[in-house]
C-alpha cells in the first residue's frame, strides 16, 4: 500500500480552553507534518499542551486558528480512525477488562455491525492482545480490581483492538515501574512494526521517546510551540542494549538540553 | 498497622444472600446482621414495659402484645386492606419508575430540556401532595385511582432527579473515550450514560418506594373506602386505637420489605459502584 507523505498535518494550529475573556491558550501556532506509519514522540514540560495536541488531532477539541488535516481531510469532529489511550486510565468500571477492550469493536465500523455474529472471534482477539501485554488471567477482573499499571495496559489494548490507522498515546507508561515500562516499550514496538499505524506518543521520559520514536518533537512551556525536531535513526527493532549505546545516551542528553525548565 | 475494618471485606456473592442462621461462633458479619433484630426487639420490649409500669391507658398507647392480638383478631380485614394498599402503591410506583426514568433521561441527556423542565419540576414537587388529593377525588371519585396517582406523584420526582443527575455528571474523560471512537450521541448514552446512571437510579428506588407507600396511605385516609389508610381512619373513628397501631405496624413492615427488596436489587446490579464493598449500601 502506498504510504502518504503527509498523513497528519498541523498548519499554524492553535487551541484554547474557556470562553472569550478567560481564554487559556494551550497550543500556539504549531505546524508539523507526520508521515503515514511514522512514530513520533512529543515531549515537553508539564502543562505545555501535549494532551491538548492529541485532542486537536483526534478532533475531540476544535482548533482555535489554523488547520488540522488527517488523511487528507480537515478535522472538524472526532475522527473514528484513531485509537486513544488517555493519561489517566479511563476504563469503564462496570465492564470487565475484556469487555473494556471490546468496547471499540462495538462502536467502530466495520466491526460494530458484525459484532454479535463474530463476537467469539473478537473475544479471542481481545484475549490475545491482553495476553501480549501480560494480562493473561485478568480478563474477567473489573478495573478497580487491577493495579494502576494493569489498568494502563488494558487501556492500551483498548486503543489497539480495532487496528486504528492512527494511535494517540498520552503518557501510557507514566504510572508504571521502570521494568514493566521497558517491557511494554518492546511490546509496543513490535505491535507497531507489525501493524504500522501512525503513532503520536506523549511522554515525559526521554529514553522512552528515543527508544520508540522515529522523530521527537520538543514543545516549549505553555502556550505550547514546537521548539525542536530530532530524527532518531537507530535500527529497528531496538532493544534495551540500544539504550546503553553511547550514541543513544548522547541523543537523550541533547534532548534534555532543549527542554526549558 | 491497624487491621482493615471488617466491613471493608467484600463478601463472596453466596454469603451475601444468606439469611441469618445459627452459627456456633459469633462472627462480625453475624453481629452486623442480627443487630437490627436485637434493636427492634428491645424497642418493643421497652414499650411493653413502659406501658405496664406506668399503667398507660390502652386508649392512649396500646401495648405491643395487645397490638399483636388485634392483628390476629382482624386478620382477614387487615390482609385484604394491606393487599389493596400494596396494589395501589406498586402500580403508582411502577408508573413513577417509567415516567421518572423517561423524564430523567430526557432531562439529563439534553441540557436545554434540563433548563426548561427542571424549575417547573421543582415547583411541582414543592406542592404538598395531600393538597392534591381532594382535586383527584373531584376528577376520579373515591377509591383506587386517587391512591395510585398520589403514590405516583410523590415517588416519581426522586427517581427523575437521580437519573438526570447520573447522566448529567458523566466524567468528560469517559465521554471522550467514546467520542474519540466516533460514537454518536445515543451510543454514548447507551454505553456510558445509562450504566453510569444505574447506581443513582437504584438508590432512588429504595427511597421512592417508601414514598409511594406514604402517598397511597395518605390518599386512602382522605379519599378511599379500602386500604390500610382507610382501615386506620375507620378504626380511629370507632376509637379502636389498638387496631390503628396494628395498621401502622403492617405499613411499617411492608415499607421495610419493599426497601429491602430494592436495596438487594441495587447491591446486585450496581456492585461496581461500591467497588464490591457493601459498606455504603
Ligand atoms: N479542560 C480544560 N479547561 C481549561 N483549561 C485546560 C483544560 N485542559 C487543559 N487546560 C489547560 O491547558 C494547558 C495545557 O494542558 P494539557 O493537558 O494539554 O497539558 P499537558 O502538556 O498534557 O500537561 P501534562 O504533561 O501535565 O499532562 C494547561 O495549562 C491547562 O491548565
Ligand atoms: Mg497531559
| CA distance readout (Å), B280 to B10, B168, B199, B263 | 12, 22, 12, 11
H or E segment and range at residue B42: helix B28-53
ipTM over 0.95: no
Ligand 1 in reach of A24 Cβ (< 6 A): yes
Shortest Cα distance, chain A CAs vs residue B249, angstroms = 39
- Whether B17 shows a pLDDT value over 50: the answer reads no
Q: Is residue A86 in some structural domain?
A: no
Residue of B nearest to A101 (CA): B177
Q: Is residue B71 in some structural domain?
A: yes
Q: Is residue A135 in some structural domain?
A: yes
- Whether A108 shows a pLDDT value over 60: the answer reads yes
Looking at the structure, tell me whether residues A22 and A133 fall in a common domain. no
> pTM for this one?
0.78
- Whether B5 shows a pLDDT value over 50: the answer reads no
Q: Is residue B212 in some structural domain?
A: yes
Helix (H, G, I), strand (E, B) or coil at B222: helix
Looking at the structure, tell me whether residues A195 and A159 fall in a common domain. no
Contacts of the segment B132-137: beta carbons below 8 A, 24+ positions apart: B133/B218, B133/B219, B133/B222, B133/B223, B134/B222, B134/B223, B136/B219, B136/B223, B137/B222, B137/B223
Domain's final residue, options A164, A184, A203: A164
Which residue puts its alpha carbon closest to atom 7 of ligand 1?
A17
- Whether B175 shows a pLDDT value over 90: the answer reads no
- Whether B253 shows a pLDDT value over 60: the answer reads yes
Looking at the structure, tell me whether residues A67 and A179 fall in a common domain. yes
Quote the number of domains for chain B: 1
The domain that contains A261 carries what CATH number?
Answer: 3.40.50.300
Pocket test for ligand 1, best of A48, A56, A88 (most atoms within 8 A of CB): A48
Contact status, residue A130 vs residue A96, Cβ threshold 8 Å:
no
Label residue B3 by pLDDT band (50, 70, 90).
Answer: very low
Check the CA dihedral B77-B79-B84-B88 and report its sign. Answer: positive
Looking at the structure, tell me whether residues A44 and A172 fall in a common domain. yes
Domain's final residue, options A104, A129, A164: A164
Q: Does B182 touch chain A (CB under 8 A)?
A: yes
The domain that contains B154 carries what CATH number?
Answer: 1.10.3720.10
Give tens-digit pLDDT for A144-176.
Answer: 898 888 888 899 899 999 989 999 999 988 877
Looking at the structure, tell me whether residues A23 and A41 fall in a common domain. yes
Q: Is residue B223 in some structural domain?
A: yes
Looking at the structure, tell me whether residues A99 and A143 fall in a common domain. yes
Q: Is residue B119 in some structural domain?
A: yes
- Whether B14 shows a pLDDT value over 70: the answer reads no
Tell me the C-alpha distance between B28 and A178, whole Å.
Answer: 42
Mean pLDDT of chain A: 88
- Which segment of A174-178, A205-209, B181-185 scores lowest on mean pLDDT? A174-178
Quote the number of domains for chain A: 2
Q: Is residue B40 in some structural domain?
A: no
Mean pLDDT of chain B: 83
What is the predicted pLDDT for the residue at B83? 92
Looking at the structure, tell me whether residues A181 and A135 fall in a common domain. no
Give tens-digit pLDDT for A210-221.
Answer: 999 999 999 888
What is the predicted pLDDT for the residue at B16? 45
Looking at the structure, tell me whether residues A58 and A144 fall in a common domain. no
Across B42-62, average pLDDT: 88
Looking at the structure, tell me whether residues A72 and A184 fall in a common domain. yes
Give tens-digit pLDDT for B88-137.
Answer: 999 999 999 999 999 888 888 887 777 787 788 788 878 887 788 888 88
Looking at the structure, tell me whether residues A160 and A170 fall in a common domain. no
Q: Is residue A133 in some structural domain?
A: yes
What is the predicted pLDDT for the residue at A103? 93
- Whether B24 shows a pLDDT value over 70: the answer reads no
- B181 chain-A contacts, CB cut-off 8 A: 78, 80, 103-104, 107-108, 162
Strand A24-34 to A198-202 pairing: unpaired
State the residue for C-alpha cell 508521515: A35
Contact B176 A144 (CB under 8 A): no
The boundaries of the domain holding residue A134 are: 92-164
What is the predicted pLDDT for the residue at B273? 80
Across A58-67, average pLDDT: 90
Check the CA dihedral B71-B74-B79-B81 and report its sign. Answer: negative
Ligand 1 in reach of A46 Cβ (< 6 A): yes
Label residue B276 by pLDDT band (50, 70, 90).
Answer: low
Looking at the structure, tell me whether residues A160 and A181 fall in a common domain. no
Domain's final residue, options A164, A180, A215: A164
Q: Is residue B38 in some structural domain?
A: no
Looking at the structure, tell me whether residues A74 and A185 fall in a common domain. yes
Amino acid at each position: 500500500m502506498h504510504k502518504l507523505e503527509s498523513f497528519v498535518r498541523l498548519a499554524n494550529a492553535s487551541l484554547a480552553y474557556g470562553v472569550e475573556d478567560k481564554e487559556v491558550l494551550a497550543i500556539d501556532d504549531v505546524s508539523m507534518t507526520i508521515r503515514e506509519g511514522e512514530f513520533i514522540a512529543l515531549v515537553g514540560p508539564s502543562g505545555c499542551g501535549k494532551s491538548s495536541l492529541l485532542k486537536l488531532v483526534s478532533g475531540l477539541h476544535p482548533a482555535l486558528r489554523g488547520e488540522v488535516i488527517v488523511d487528507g481531510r480537515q478535522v472538524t469532529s472526532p475522527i473514528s480512525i484513531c485509537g486513544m489511550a488517555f493519561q489517566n486510565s479511563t476504563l469503564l468500571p462496570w465492564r470487565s477488562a475484556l469487555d473494556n477492550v471490546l468496547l471499540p469493536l462495538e462502536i467502530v465500523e466495520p466491526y460494530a455491525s458484525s459484532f454479535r455474529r463474530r463476537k467469539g472471534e473478537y473475544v479471542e482477539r481481545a484475549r490475545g492482545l491482553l495476553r501480549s501485554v501480560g494480562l493473561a488471567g485478568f480478563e474477567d477482573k473489573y478495573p478497580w480490581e487491577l493495579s494502576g499499571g494493569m489498568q494502563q495496559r488494558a487501556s492500551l489494548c483498548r486503543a489497539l483492538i480495532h487496528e486504528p490507522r492512527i494511535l494517540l498515546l498520552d503518557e501510557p507508561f507514566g504510572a508504571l515501574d521502570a521494568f514493566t515500562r521497558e517491557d511494554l516499550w518492546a511490546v509496543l514496538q513490535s505491535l507497531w512494526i507489525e501493524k504500522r499505524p501512525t503513532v503520536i506518543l506523549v511522554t515525559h521520559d526521554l529514553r522512552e521517546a528515543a527508544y520508540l520514536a522515529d522523530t521527537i518533537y520538543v514543545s516549549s512551556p505553555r502556550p505550547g510551540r514546537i521548539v525542536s525536531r530530532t530524527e532518531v535513526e537507530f535500527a529497528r527493532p531496538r532493544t534495551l542494549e540500544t539504550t546503553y549505546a553511547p550514541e543513544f545516551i548522547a541523543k537523550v542528553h541533547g534532548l534534555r538540553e532543549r527542554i526549558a525548565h | 498497622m491497624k487491621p482493615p475494618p471488617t466491613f471493608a471485606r467484600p463478601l463472596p456473592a453466596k454469603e451475601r444472600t444468606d439469611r441469618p442462621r445459627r452459627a456456633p461462633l459469633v462472627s462480625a458479619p453475624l453481629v452486623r446482621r442480627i443487630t437490627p433484630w436485637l434493636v427492634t426487639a428491645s424497642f418493643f420490649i421497652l414499650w411493653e414495659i413502659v406501658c405496664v409500669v406506668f399503667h398507660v391507658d390502652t386508649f392512649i398507647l396500646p401495648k405491643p402484645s395487645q397490638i399483636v392480638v388485634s392483628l390476629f383478631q382482624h386478620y382477614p380485614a387487615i390482609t385484604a386492606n394491606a393487599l389493596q394498599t400494596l396494589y395501589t402503591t406498586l402500580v403508582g410506583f411502577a408508573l413513577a419508575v417509567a415516567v421518572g426514568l423517561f423524564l430523567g433521561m430526557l432531562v439529563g441527556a439534553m441540557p436545554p430540556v434540563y433548563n426548561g423542565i427542571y424549575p417547573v419540576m421543582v415547583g411541582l414537587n414543592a406542592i404538598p401532595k395531600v393538597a392534591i388529593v381532594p382535586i383527584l377525588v373531584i376528577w376520579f371519585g373515591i377509591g383506587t385511582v386517587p391512591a395510585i396517582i398520589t403514590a405516583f406523584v410523590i415517588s416519581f420526582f426522586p427517581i427523575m432527579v437521580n437519573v438526570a443527575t447520573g447522566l448529567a455528571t458523566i466524567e468528560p474523560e469517559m465521554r471522550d473515550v467514546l467520542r474519540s471512537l466516533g460514537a454518536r450521541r445515543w451510543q454514548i448514552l447507551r454505553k456510558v450514560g445509562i450504566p453510569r446512571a444505574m447506581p443513582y437510579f437504584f438508590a432512588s428506588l429504595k427511597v421512592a418506594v417508601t414514598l409511594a407507600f406514604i402517598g397511597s396511605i395518605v390518599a386512602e385516609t382522605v379519599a378511599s373506602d379500602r386500604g390500610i389508610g382507610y382501615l386506620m381512619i375507620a378504626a380511629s373513628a370507632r376509637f379502636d386505637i389498638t387496631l390503628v397501631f396494628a395498621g401502622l405496624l403492617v405499613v411499617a413492615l411492608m415499607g421495610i420489605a419493599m426497601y429491602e427488596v430494592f436495596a438487594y436489587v441495587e447491591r446486585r446490579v450496581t456492585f461496581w459502584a461500591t467497588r464490591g464493598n457493601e459498606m455504603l449500601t
